[in-house]
């Protein structure tokens, strides 16, 4: 398959970035990352025309590619720095992982749906994101073999933050995670201030698909 990113896509992307900026995201590094990632290549062609609208879209297996505003919001809260080791729970389409890679992060991403894992693992290197490491597994367990992480981003909703994720965060590290029930969650940022001391800040409401256990 051939992947095309033409002037029309680039133009739509610039408009999307302006729309996200208008909604209150002023972090220029995040906006630049959004401007670089060819979002239309992460979904099936049917959505090609509307994929640069600021909305979520269905992918396979009842899952979604997050709304660009949501991706920008989470990425901004994460305060990623170049070279950071970042764990993402919920690879989905791979779009959020690509945005993190554009920010200079070393991305490790976990997906529990085998089909999505396989599809995204194949896609990412083909469109230039060969440094992202994809894993098939249950995000409730994190990725102990590669821990600790500077940052952890959870892109599915949890009632309770999995204990493994607390443990796999570096001291001084931060985790951004939507916490709440099925219909709405509050975005939270958790900082590991010491070995056994965590701080939590909460932000706006969002609606994510649930994080399910097992694979």
Residues in contact with ligand SAH by the rule CB under 6 A:
63-66, 89-90, 92-93, 95-96, 110-113, 116, 138-140, 155-156, 209, 211-213
**Judged by CB, which is closer to ligand SAH: 33, or 156?**
156
Minimum CB separation of residue 116 from ligand SAH in Å reads 5
Least distance between ligand SAH and beta carbon 18 (Å): 21
Contact residues for 95 (Cβ-Cβ < 8 A; gap 6+): 37, 39, 42, 65, 66, 71
Around 84, how many Cα atoms within 13 Å sit in the side-chain half-sphere? 26
Rg (CA), the chain: 16
What is the DSSP secondary-structure string of 117-153?
Answer: HHHHHHHHHHTT-TTPEEEES-GGG--GGG--EEEEE
Secondary structure (DSSP) of 27-76: -HHHHHHHHHS-GGGGS-GGGTTTTTSSS-EE-STT-EEPPHHHHHHHHH
Q: Identify whether the C-beta of residue 16 lies closer than 8 Å to the C-beta of residue 52.
A: yes
Catalytic residue positions, numbered: 66
Distance from C-alpha of 3 to C-alpha of 24, rounded to nearest angstrom: 31
Smallest distance, ligand SAH to C-beta of residue 14, A:
20
Shortest CB 195 distance to ligand SAH, Å: 26
Q: How far is the CB of 39 from ligand SAH (least distance, A)?
A: 10
Is residue 88 a contact partner of residue 110, using CB atoms and an 8 Å limit? yes
Task: Decide: 92 and 36 in contact? Cβ < 8 Å.
Answer: no
Strand, coil or helix: what is 116? helix
């Amino acid at each position: 398959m051939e992947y095309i990113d033409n002037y029309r896509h680039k133009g739509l992307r610039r408009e999307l970035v302006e729309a996200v900026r208008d909604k209150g995201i002023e972090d220029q590094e995040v906006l630049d990352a959004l401007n670089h990632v060819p979002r239309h290549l992460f979904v099936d062609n049917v959505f090609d025309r509307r994929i640069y609208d600021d909305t979520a879209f269905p992918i396979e297996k009842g899952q979604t590619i997050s709304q660009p505003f949501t991706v920008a919001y989470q990425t901004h809260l994460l305060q990623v720095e170049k070279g950071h080791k970042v764990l993402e729970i919920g690879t989905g389409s791979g779009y959020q992982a690509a945005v993190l890679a554009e920010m200079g992060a070393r991305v490790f991403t976990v997906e529990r749906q085998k089909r999505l894992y396989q599809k995204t693992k194949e896609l990412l290197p083909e469109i230039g994101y060969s440094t992202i490491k994809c894993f098939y597994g249950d995000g409730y367990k994190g990725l102990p073999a590669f821990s600790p992480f500077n940052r952890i981003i959870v892109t599915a909703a949890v009632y309770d933050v999995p204990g493994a994720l607390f443990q796999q965060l570096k001291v001084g590290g931060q985790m951004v995670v939507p916490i709440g029930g099925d219909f709405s969650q509050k975005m939270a940022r958790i900082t590991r201030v010491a070995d056994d001391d965590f701080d939590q800040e909460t932000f706006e409401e969002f609606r994510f698909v649930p994080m399910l256990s097992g694979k």
